[in-house]
Amino acid sequence: MSGCKRIGLAFTAFILMASLLTGCWNRRELNAISVVLAMGIDWVDEQYQLTVQVSDPSQMSINRSGERSPAIIFSERAPTIFEALRKITTKASRRMYLSHMRIVIINEKIAERGLRNPLDFLFRDHEVRPDFFMAVAKGCDAKDILAFVTPMEVLPAIDLYKSLKVSESSWAPTSAVNVVDMMQKVTKDGIEPVLTGITLIGNRNKGMKIDNVKQPKAYAEYKYTGIGVLLDDRIVGWLGESDSKGYSYVSNNVRSTVGHVRCPNGRDNFVVEIYKSHAEIIPSIKDGKPHVKVKMKSDANIGEYHCSADLGDEKVFSQMQQVAREEQRTTLEHSIRHVQRKYGADIYGFGEAFHRKYPRQWNKWKKQWPEIFKNDLQVEVVITTELHKTGKILNTIHKQP
């Protein structure tokens, strides 16, 4: 009996241990996958053209040869994104692995047709993490942006990604749009999404060659341009630098930025460097019509000064503060009015603010909100910016009188 039992136990243990040695069903060996860092989606011949940028693992080591490009581009066309992605395996020796994707660039033509369908795959597939950024290629193909050689980083995708993050935190007109932001704004009522624009400048054909980075001045460069306004999931237009800045202020996207202001004498400029900014949207209903008060407070320093008035004088300083406020007010008002009149897309989320404060009234307005936003909504901007410091010097260098 005990002999039988021992043999039985030994056998069970053997089977159990053997089952541990099998590994996983779904394993992906590192040498069988390609890590996709960036994806581009274009619309060519009534089909999606999917471009992926993957890193060449052999080029990631310290002693890499300069002969081969560290990033590889694959591109394939199909009626759907997933098909195109799988079709890429006909050109590549490894399977594309999407978990580490940093940025997705979408062609303007697709953004005009609507983003819901091309993005469905990225929301649905289990490999894709919801932490990538999105940008719209303006005036060029997404493929070109992925294919060109960037100067700072070895991998173009990382360069694009880092540049977007840096620019967002220190230059107000750029706003980085994460995929979760996009999902939130598409599903919410009373707020419309925006997307960052990206374009290529310079000689594109030369920019695709490794020669692009062989001299200090690159032949081609990418550039994040202002933001694109979306109505539902379609892009309807672009904002210029100043209007984009206004948007960033209202949506509390500004971590730090600089902007010039005309001196009170009307001739020269000075620069305010904003290091803290907070805007609040206060909705109210006046005579049955929506009214919004945008209250913005920011703290700033003087970063550059071309005016002649003496900054040491408190009166002059508060005059500077006053013109800075005026400048910001004009920026915000212009941005809001421009978007209202031209696009009727509530990218600032005023409707959302009404939704929160007046849910009943909002449910009556909800259907016609784009029209109400365009025609009836009154916006009042109140700025309480404060200037604090002047940097290492007080006034510009000049001869002492």
Query: Which spans of this chain sit near another protein (rule: CB under 8 A)?
Result: 24-26, 123, 126, 129-131, 180, 183-184, 186-188, 352, 355-357, 359, 363
Least distance CB 26 / another protein (angstroms): 4
Beta-bridge partners for 235: 230
φ, ψ dihedrals at 28, nearest 5°? -125, 110
Residues 6+ apart with CB under 8 A from 379: 291, 292, 293, 294, 333, 336, 337, 340, 350
Name the minimum Å distance from CB 354 to another protein.
Answer: 10
Please give the structure tokens belonging to residue 319.
């005059």
8 or 139, CB closer to another protein? 8
Q: Closer CB to another protein, residue 68 or residue 116?
A: 116
Task: Please state the closest distance from residue 189 (CB atom) to another protein, in A.
Answer: 9
| Residue owning tokens 């719209």 | 136
List Cα–Cα distances, 359 to 182, 356, 363, 365, in angstroms: 23, 6, 6, 10
Taking the C-alpha atoms of residue 377 and residue 350, their distance in angstroms, rounded to an integer, is 9
Nearer to another protein, 26 or 63 (CB): 26
DSSP letter assigned to residue 288: T
The CB-of-62 to another protein minimum distance in angstroms stands at 21
Kindly give, in sequence order, each residue whose CB lies less than 8 Å from that of residue 314, ignoring residues fewer than 6 positions away.
Answer: none
Comparison of 97 and 317: residue with beta carbon closer to another protein? 97
Between 90 and 187, whose beta carbon lies closer to another protein? 187
The tokens 């503060």 sit on which residue?
321
Q: Which is nearer to another protein, 219 or 365 (CB)?
A: 365
DSSP 125-142: -TT--TT-EEEEE-SS-H
Nearer to another protein, 356 or 389 (CB): 356
Place of tokens 């949207």: 281
The residue whose two tokens read 């009154």 is: 378
Tell me how far, at minimum, the Cβ of 88 lies from another protein, in Å. 19
- From the CB of 353, what's the least distance to another protein, in Å? 9
Cα 148 to Cα 212: distance, rounded to the nearest angstrom: 8
DSSP β-bridge partners for residue 238: 228
Write out the E strands in 163-321: 177-178, 194-202, 220-231, 234-238, 257-262, 269-286, 289-305
45: left (phi over 0), alpha (psi -120 to 50) or beta: left
Identity of the residue, 191 or 272, whose beta carbon is nearer to another protein in the bound complex:
191
Distance of closest approach, residue 274 Cβ to another protein, in angstroms? 22
CB of 133 to another protein, least distance (A): 11
Of 294, 240, 305, 302, the C-alpha closest to 270 is 305
